[in-house]
């Protein structure tokens, strides 16, 4: 059964909120230098060195796309998990946590 737009948005919004909450905790606990800009379907993270990670919803495809300084990734919801369809990046949340640490030196707890 195909995912509805409402289901897609709920799943994506929950992930965006979890990322934002974990970053806010990192800012408090690690004195992390990261700016969060959540606007519409886009969550943009900017690090001290001005590099960015951009996470955005691709509603027509029911995907989440992530752009890092290392590449672009497309995650689709498959069997209860968000899996990258373009590379071997694996699951969304571990990938995002790893990317934030790699690019910004910030450890997130999700």
* Confidence category of residue 30, pLDDT binned at 50, 70, 90: confident
Question: In this structure, what DSSP letter does residue 60 have?
Answer: G
Task: Tell me the pLDDT tens digit for each residue of 54-87.
Answer: 999 999 999 999 999 999 999 999 999 999 998 8
* Confidence category of residue 1, pLDDT binned at 50, 70, 90: low
Task: Tell me the pLDDT tens digit for each residue of 37-57.
Answer: 999 899 999 999 999 999 999
Predicted pLDDT of residue 25: 92
Q: Is the pLDDT of residue 31 over 90?
A: no
Task: Tell me the pLDDT tens digit for each residue of 86-103.
Answer: 888 899 999 999 999 999
Q: Is the pLDDT of residue 10 over 90?
A: yes
- The topology (CATH level 3) of 5-104 is Metal Transport, Frataxin; Chain A (3.30.920)
């Amino acid at each position: 059964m195909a995912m509805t737009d409402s289901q897609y948005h709920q799943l994506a919004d929950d992930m965006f909120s979890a990322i934002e909450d974990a970053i806010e905790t990192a800012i408090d606990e690690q004195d992390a230098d990261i700016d969060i800009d959540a606007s519409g379907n886009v969550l943009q993270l900017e690090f001290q060195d001005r590099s960015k990670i951009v996470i955005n919803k691709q509603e027509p495809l029911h995907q989440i796309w992530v752009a890092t300084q290392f590449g672009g990734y497309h995650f689709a919801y498959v069997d209860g998990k968000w899996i990258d369809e373009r590379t071997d990046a694996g699951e969304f949340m571990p990938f995002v946590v790893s990317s934030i640490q790699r690019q910004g030196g910030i450890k997130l707890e999700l």
